[in-house]
Homo-oligomer: A and B are copies of this chain.
């Protein structure tokens, strides 16, 4: 069992997220860009000798977290610490906060900043699909039906604003053999802006062929 990542690593990634958001909206003279770039290169040089090696590498480097065959414990944020959606240790993750309720529905909350922008003022449609895959997949995991996404369908009902608190919820529709059918919706306040359905294929009969 992996423990939740230590505070300093989470804070480092949080600081990097703030840098990412700033760079996304910057318009600076060349000498300022060069100065920032030197600091960024220096930060990388400090960290480069400390990439994962050995046995630990396979789990942490190759997967988003603790592994599909491990019983689910904690929240999706804790269970998938490297996820590109919920992972506190992944700088490209917003990250979306997710948790399950007593009925094993999965809820989420996020405010998406400029890096996730698509049309003016709105979240990029692809980013909502990215989030839905994780939300619905996490719901399958929480309900002891972890699996690979087979099909994901997202319907966009209206624009979803950036820089606005959003909430989301997912639930199991039914389980049919190796297939788990999950639905979810994303809300801006009381208004549903997008819905999704997903079919997840259980890992005991996994569809991965490489």
Contact = CB atoms under 8 A, between A and B. Distances in A.
Q: Kindly name the residue among A27, A127, A207 whose own CB sees the greatest number of chain B CB atoms within 10 A.
A: A27
Nearest to A134: B126
Interface in A38-71: 39-44, 46-48, 50-52, 56-64, 67-68
Given A16-B40, A43-B19, A44-B18, A116 B84 contact: yes
Contacts of A89: 24
Contacts of A130: 124, 126-127, 129-130
Nearest to A57: B25
Interface in A157-190: 157-159, 161-162
Interface residues of A, number: 95
A65 to B, nearest CB: 9
A139 to B, nearest CB: 13
A13 B33 CA distance: 10
Contacts of A108: none
B9 A13 contact: no
Interface string A1-25: 0000010110111011011101111
A109 interface: no
A121 interface: yes
Contacts of A155: 150-151
A22 B48 contact: yes
A16 B23 contact: yes
A30 B158 CA distance: 45
A79 interface: no
Contacts of A36: 12, 43, 46-47
Given A56-B27, A62-B121, A130-B130, A161 B210 contact: yes
Given A63-B118, A92-B116, A124-B134, 17 more contacts: A12-B33, A12-B36, A20-B91, A26-B52, A40-B40, A40-B43, A62-B121, A63-B121, A64-B124, A119-B148, A119-B208, A121-B210, A126-B130, A126-B137, A148-B156, A152-B156, A159-B209
